[in-house]
Structure 1
């Protein structure tokens, strides 16, 4: 939408400098607010579509072929080494909309022991990957709500944790 250019309603005393009337200025400001609101709405519509696409994609489990497991493991190991070199003891390994939990993240938010049962799609696969392959090697997994849009639980993140060996 183009921002309208108001026509001046009057001039300064010199007669040659255009000047906007108060009514014209109010109309111009209203037009600017309308245009801004439309741009924001379009942005929200695009964000909502991207969120829906992400939920759809993450709802579909990934086929865990030996090659895919090797790819995931290599990428994860690389990221873990970088985090350890930086002195960190945890690494965010996944972030996803709370819509991928059957309870919208309530069990995770309340730190209930059965929170893994609420997971669906790829988050469920990620939990199972940790449980079957990483937990036996001493890695922990922490899940938490990481954003709160409008004061309500939003995205969930998984953090892979580890402790340094004690001498």
Structure 2
């Protein structure tokens, strides 16, 4: 003879099992989110470091980028995109176009700005840093555009 208690749990027991399963899913989601956040933070910390490129290598890269753009009929080219976390103020000064915004740069973006200041600006090139997306209505990534026209 079949025992109904072994075959069919009560609604209360099913709800408890369902709640445990949902809690496991939420826990896994939180673990994955924490891991992704840690990975992103580690990448940002790595990007904050100055680039270990020689001046010659920087000049070669700049020349390659500019020449490719010219061959394609362009007068400007986006040379870099970076998260606003690489600015000490998360891009606020760039977004507000405040004087001295360049002092908020760190890592690669700071290197690019200094390279432009030292080599490209004296040759007539212009540079623009601007917020290029606004996820959730707040400043997001920043683009660096080099122009010569």
Partner of 2:14: none
TM-score using structure 1 length: 0.67
The 5 A counterparts of 1:87-166 are 87-163=73-149
| 2:40 is aligned with 1:51 | yes
Deviations 1:51-101 (A, max 9, x none): 21221111111345xxx2212221221121111111111111122111121
| 2:49 is aligned with 1:60 | yes
What SS does the corresponding residue of 1:132 show, helix, strand or coil? helix
Q: CA deviation at 1:157?
A: 1.4
Q: CA deviation at 1:147?
A: 1.8
Following the alignment from structure 1 to structure 2, what is the Cα–Cα distance between the partners of residues 124 and 133?
14
| 2:65 is aligned with 1:76 | no
TM-score using structure 2 length: 0.74
Q: CA deviation at 1:158?
A: 0.8
Kindly tell me: are residues 78 and 46 of structure 1, through their superposed partners in 2, closer, same or farther at Cα, counting changes over 3 Å?
Answer: farther
Kindly tell me: are residues 38 and 77 of structure 1, through their superposed partners in 2, closer, same or farther at Cα, counting changes over 3 Å?
Answer: farther
Q: CA deviation at 1:117?
A: 1.4
Following the alignment from structure 2 to structure 1, what is the Cα–Cα distance between the partners of residues 97 and 30?
35
Following the alignment from structure 2 to structure 1, what is the Cα–Cα distance between the partners of residues 47 and 75?
27
Kindly tell me: are residues 97 and 115 of structure 1, through their superposed partners in 2, closer, same or farther at Cα, counting changes over 3 Å?
Answer: same
What SS does the corresponding residue of 2:50 show, helix, strand or coil? coil
Write 1 or 2 for the structure with the bigger share of helix. Answer: 2
Following the alignment from structure 2 to structure 1, what is the Cα–Cα distance between the partners of residues 130 and 35?
26
Gaps of 5+ in 1: 1-27
Q: CA deviation at 1:118?
A: 1.2
Q: CA deviation at 1:156?
A: 1.1
Kindly tell me: are residues 85 and 101 of structure 1, through their superposed partners in 2, closer, same or farther at Cα, counting changes over 3 Å?
Answer: same
Q: Would you say how many aligned residue pairs link Structure 1 and Structure 2?
A: 139
